[in-house]
Structures are given as structure tokens and as C-alpha cells.
Amino acid sequence: MSISSMTGFGRARGVLSDRLSAAVVVRSVNHRYLDIQTRTSLREELPEVEALVRRCIAARVRRGRVVAQINLERTAPPESSLVVDTDGILKLVRTLRTLGGEAGAGGVGVAEVLGVPGLVTVQSAETILDRDELDALETVVTRAVNSMVEARLAEGAALVTQIRGELGELDRFLDWLEPELRGLRERLLQRIRERLEDLLGKDGDLDESRLVQEAALLADRSDVAEEMVRLREHLSQFRRRLEAGGVVGRALDFLCQEIHRELNTLGSKTREGFVVERLVDAKTATERIREQVQNLE
């Protein structure tokens, strides 16, 4: 199963009927959950259009903030009706006659009536899509969503390639560190032995068995074998989930946190300069993996 990015873009156009056509643009960006927003070019609300868009997107997308812009374009003038406030016009005429006399009344014409707001208005019919228009719109929206999904899949494939490269960097770090562990233990024991000799030389009353126990405890605390094993397992599990595909972004993000935690623990136990230098590179690779994983669905 393919892995998808959460970033994508798609568009489509189509004729809905003799009176309407539609242009649909769908964009998606990263988000923790699926967040769908619908916008239309009309001032009036179209709940049936919003429900249709949400259904089309939810059928193909599991995560991401998706914004769908639906531009409905009229291919024929909208039906409209003329509303005349007859009572208001009569009141206006009577008022003018009262103020200006019979001579003034003759000067009241259509221009004066139309100049008074609210006496004559034109009302456009409410835009309600019929069943055929909704079906046609669903086809256009589906094409736009499919185009966006293809873009998300293409970017997802590119991200997976980059992630595999960074995983290889972590493998190389572990392959390099593993043969170095014996030398690290020997260096640690040598330093402890030198300290013990200094202490015993200064104070002969020190309990040598106690010091040996403390040295063994310190050596055990500095052993990174367990961290190495856990890191190998985390990397193996990471690759298995990549191969399985699907919606893996959250799971891989969690594994990145675990890998970073093990590297931190390893660094706190191993303070040799040449190890720290390589460890910084491993942590940097882990951060790059996490940045890329956070783009995956």
C-alpha cells in the first residue's frame, strides 16, 4: 500500500447544467486530524454542496487540512423578480403634493420614484442545485480530489525515498559504533583503574572491595549494549511500517521519538569525543526523518 503526503493540490472544471458550471480547487496541508473546509463563490449558504464536498474528500483522505474552493459560474442570467412597493409610492406622491401643491405633483415621475431606496427592488431567485446538478458537481469535485490525491502520493513517494536514505545513515552509525564498544569499555576500565590506584596510594585504609564494586557499577551504567539493541529494533520496526504503507505518519513519528530517546541515553553514557561527533550526525539524521515523517498521512 502506498504512503501519501499530506500536502497536495488538485483542480477540475465541468458543466453542471444549462445555467451553471463549476470550477473546483482542492488544497491540502499538514494537520493532526482530517479538517475539511468548504468555500463557495456565492454569498448564500449551500449546505448540500458542503455535505457533498466533505463526502468526496473523506472517501480518499484520512489526515490533513483540506480546503475546497467551489466557484459556481452562471452560464445563463439568473431568474429574478421585480418587487414594487405600491403603497410606498402612493405615500410618496401624496407627500410631494402636500409639500409642493398641485403644480409640484405633476413633476413626480419614474426617475424620482426609482431614486427612493426600497420602493422598487429586483430580487434574484435563491440558488438551489437540483439533483442532476449535484450529481454533476460531485463528478467535478471527485476529479479534483483524485488529482490532489495523486499529488499527495507522488510527494509521499519522494519523502519515503529521503527517509530510507536517512535510515541508512543511522544504520551506518550503529555498524560503526558496535565494533568500538570493546575499546570504549577498555578505556573506561583503564580510567577507573588509574583512579583506584591514585586513591589507594593516598589512603591505604580504603576498602578495595568496595571500590571494585563501585567500579563495576559504573562500568555497567556506561554499557550501551541495550540501547544498541533497542535502536536496531526501532529501525527494523520503522522499515516494516514503511513497507506496509497506508496511514503511518503518527506511528512513524512516535518511533522517531523513541529513536531520539535512545540516542540521548547512549550519548549520556558515552562521552568519548570521537563518539559524540558521530552521535551528533545520527541525531541530525533522526531530526530530518521526523521532519519528513510529519508530512506523511
Kindly report, residue by residue over 168-177, the tens digit of the pLDDT: 999 999 999 8
Q: Which is higher by pLDDT, 61 or 226?
A: 61
C-alpha cell at 151: 499529488
pTM (two decimals): 0.73
Per-residue pLDDT band at 94 (split at 50, 70, 90): confident
Q: Where are the domains of the chain?
A: 8-77+130-152, 80-124, 154-293
Distance between CA atoms of 86 and 67, rounded to whole angstroms? 47
Q: Biggest alpha carbon distance in the chain?
A: 132
The residue with greater pLDDT, 256 or 46, is: 256
Judged against a pLDDT cut of 70, whether residue 131 lies above it is answered with yes
pLDDT, greater one: 117 or 196: 117
Q: Give DSSP secondary structure letters for 134-185.
A: HHHHHHHHHHHHHHHHHHHHHHHHHHHHHHHHHHHHHHHHHHHHHHHHHHHH
Among the ranges 41-45, 178-182, 187-191, 264-268, which has the highest mean pLDDT value? 264-268
Average pLDDT for 92-109: 62
Average pLDDT over residues 88-105: 66
Paired with 123 in beta bridges are 81
Domains 8-77+130-152 and 154-293 share a fold: no
Summarize the confidence of residues 175-197 as an average pLDDT: 74
Of the candidates 83, 27, 86, the residue with the CA atom closest to the CA atom of residue 57: 27
Q: How many Å separate Cα 117 from the centre of its chain?
A: 49
Asked whether the beta carbons of 141 and 53 are under 8 A apart, the reply is yes
Give residue 29's pLDDT: 96
pLDDT of residue 105: 46
* 18-22, 85-89, 139-143, 231-235: least confidently modelled range: 85-89
The mean of the pLDDT values for the chain is 84
What's the CATH fold of domain 154-293? Butyryl-CoA Dehydrogenase, subunit A; domain 3 (1.20.140)
Confidence of residue 273 (pLDDT cuts 50, 70, 90): confident
Residue predicted with more confidence, 277 or 101: 277
| pLDDT value, residue 226 | 85
Annotation: CATH topology of 8-77+130-152: Ribosomal Protein S5; domain 2 (3.30.230)
Residue 232, pLDDT > 60, answer: yes
Report whether pLDDT(124) > 60: no
